Amino acid sequence: MLNGKQKRFLRGIGHGLNPVILVGKGEVSESLVEETIAALESHELIKVKILESCLMDRHEVAAALAEASTAEVAQVLGRTFLLYRKAKEPKLQLPG
């Protein structure tokens, strides 16, 4: 579980990121989860954008995708959110 200081640190890094995953009409499907897991393994912190065609609530999408990929939601802002999962060889050093 991320604490407030860690979330703030990740939000600062995530601000400059471009979305890696786009959630559209298909919503949270098995292929989207696999794509998210692959992105998390290589990047550790990813930005996900929810398109207008997605009918699910943004918080529902973030929670469902985080749970399916065993990640944590660092931020939900507008139609984008940040997912973080510690890698086997961590690239980011989170504050205590």
pLDDT of residue 77: 95
* Number of domains the chain contains: 1
Residue type, 37: I
- Residue 24 tokens read as 């559209």
Distance of CA 39 to the CA centre of its chain: 9
Residue 20: inside a domain, yes or no?
yes
Residue 89: inside a domain, yes or no?
no
Buried b (16+ CB within 10 A) or exposed e, 43-55: bbbbbbbbeeebe
Residue 93: inside a domain, yes or no?
no
Residue 38 belongs to domain spanning: 4-84
Say how many residues make up the chain: 96
Residue 75: inside a domain, yes or no?
yes
**Count of CB atoms within 10 A of residue 22's CB?**
12
Residue 92: inside a domain, yes or no?
no
User: Can you give the CATH number for the domain in which 68 is found?
Assistant: 3.30.110.60
Residue 46: inside a domain, yes or no?
yes
Q: Would you write out the chain's pLDDT as a tens digit for each of its 96 residues?
A: 899 999 999 999 999 999 999 999 888 999 999 999 999 999 999 999 999 999 999 999 999 999 999 999 999 999 999 999 998 888 889 987
Q: Is the pTM of this model over 0.85?
A: yes
Residue type, 35: E
